[in-house]
């Protein structure tokens, strides 16, 4: 991979699915654990957001450990990479919340020059990440993503954050 | 001494609320849909929701003008509901670029022509 300054960039490290996280997210339904019906319902919800909001390129649902649960992305970027980025963003947000005594992580929005990356807590162990263009109506995204996160928590049978 | 910009914002929005029939007013950034300041509003009219939604209205109209290749800008947009008027007024100053004023009025109590005129004065008095 070559970045825009012409320097070589290492591809993002990718954890193998076999290297499972043994920690708490037993309640988080992994791709393999979520039944096909649940996965279909989750993908329908994600596609609903993409259709309702111009500028949304796609979403991923991921565990806080960075493993992918579901997504509705087509092509670039790789959904596993976005799942890892969601967990990284969550980690930073959680540390800020802990250090400032603001309580558990709720959401974090990264606004870069060419786009948005927003991460919402679905539960203590599950995240929703949304990738958007720079022209995205981010106020509307916040209004629509919060109820979406609640619906995903119901579908995945995880406790709402 | 000049008043701090935020104080000016609050004073100006309060003044907009003194327009006869005003229900709520908001200053909104239509590049993001985020609300910079609000005054008024009610349980039935959530101004942040209205701001985010009307951002799409103003964007659609700007896109339409661009597609029609009209060398023109929006002075204001009027939406007439059964019981309310909604006025959308983009800011024309350089500092206000990308912002709009949103005013919801009670249709029974408001004088539309006067409200439009007063909103123009409010826009002119806005210092950012």
Which pLDDT score, from 0 to 100, does residue B6 have?
60
Which pLDDT score, from 0 to 100, does residue A9 have?
57
Q: Is residue A4 part of a domain?
A: no
Name the band, by pLDDT with cuts 50, 70 and 90, for residue B20.
Answer: very high
Name the band, by pLDDT with cuts 50, 70 and 90, for residue A26.
Answer: very low
Q: Is residue A68 part of a domain?
A: yes
Closest alpha carbon to A129 in A110, A143, A114 = A110
Query: What whole-number distance in Å separates Cα of residue B67 and Cα of residue A78?
Result: 34
Over residues B54-78, the pLDDT tens digits come to 999 999 999 999 999 999 999 999 9
How far is residue A135 from each of residues A4, A132, A161, B25, B54, measured CA to CA in Å? 21, 8, 29, 24, 15
Q: Can you give the length of chain A in residues?
A: 161
State the pTM of this model.
0.79
In chain A, whose CA is at the least distance from the CA of B47?
A139
- What ranges make up the beta strands (E) of B62-116? 77-80, 84-90, 99-106
Query: In this complex, is the C-beta atom of B64 within 8 Å of any C-beta atom belonging to chain A?
Result: no
Q: Is residue A22 part of a domain?
A: no
A139 contacts in B (CB within 8 Å)?
32-35, 48, 51-52, 55
Is 60 exceeded by the pLDDT of residue A13?
A: no
What are phi and psi for residue B68, nearest 5 degrees?
-80, -5
State the total domains in chain A. 1
Which pLDDT score, from 0 to 100, does residue A76 have?
83
Say if residue A77 is preceded by a cis peptide, omega within 30 of 0.
yes
- The encoded tokens of residue A143 equal 């209004």
To the nearest whole angstrom, how far is the Cα of A138 from the nearest Cα of chain B? 5
What are phi and psi for residue A78, nearest 5 degrees?
-65, 125
Q: Is residue A9 part of a domain?
A: no
Q: Which domain holds residue A62?
A: 36-156
C-beta atoms of A137 and B51 within 8 A: no
CATH number at residue A73: 3.30.450.30
B53 contacts in A (CB within 8 Å)?
140
DSSP letter for each residue of B46-57: -HHHHHHHHHHH
Could you tell me the strand order of the sheet in which A56-63 lies? A68-71, A56-63, A126-133, A115-121, A107-112
Query: In this complex, is the C-beta atom of B62 within 8 Å of any C-beta atom belonging to chain A?
Result: no
Query: In this complex, is the C-beta atom of B81 within 8 Å of any C-beta atom belonging to chain A?
Result: no
- The encoded tokens of residue A45 equal 């919800």
Q: Is residue A86 part of a domain?
A: yes
Query: In this complex, is the C-beta atom of B98 within 8 Å of any C-beta atom belonging to chain A?
Result: no
């Amino acid at each position: 991979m070559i970045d825009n300054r012409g320097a070589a960039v290492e591809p993002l490290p990718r954890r193998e699915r076999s290297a499972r996280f043994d920690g708490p997210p037993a309640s988080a339904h992994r791709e393999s654990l979520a039944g096909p019906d649940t996965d279909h319902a989750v993908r329908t919800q994600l596609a609903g957001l993409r259709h309702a909001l111009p500028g949304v390129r796609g979403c991923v649902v991921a565990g806080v450990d960075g493993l992918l649960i579901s997504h509705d992305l087509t092509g670039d970027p790789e959904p596993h990479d976005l799942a890892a980025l969601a967990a990284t963003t969550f980690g930073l947000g959680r540390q800020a919340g802990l250090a400032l005594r603001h309580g558990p992580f709720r959401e974090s929005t990264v606004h870069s020059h060419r786009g948005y990356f927003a991460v919402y807590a679905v539960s203590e162990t599950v995240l929703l990440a949304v990738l958007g263009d720079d022209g995205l109506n981010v106020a509307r995204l916040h209004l629509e993503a919060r109820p979406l996160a609640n619906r995903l928590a119901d579908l995945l049978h995880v406790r709402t954050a | 001494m000049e008043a701090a910009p935020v104080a000016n914002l609050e004073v100006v929005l309060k003044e907009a609320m003194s327009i006869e029939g005003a229900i709520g007013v908001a200053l909104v950034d239509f590049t993001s849909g985020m609300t910079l300041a609000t005054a008024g509003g009610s349980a039935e009219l959530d101004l942040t929701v209205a701001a985010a939604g009307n951002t799409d209205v103003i964007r659609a109209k700007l896109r339409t003008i661009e597609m029609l290749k009209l060398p023109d800008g929006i002075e204001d947009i009027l939406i007439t509901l059964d019981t309310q008027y909604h006025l959308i007024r983009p800011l024309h100053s350089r500092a206000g670029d990308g912002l709009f004023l949103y005013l919801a009025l009670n249709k029974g109590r408001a004088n539309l022509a006067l409200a439009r005129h007063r909103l123009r004065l409010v826009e002119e008095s806005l210092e950012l």
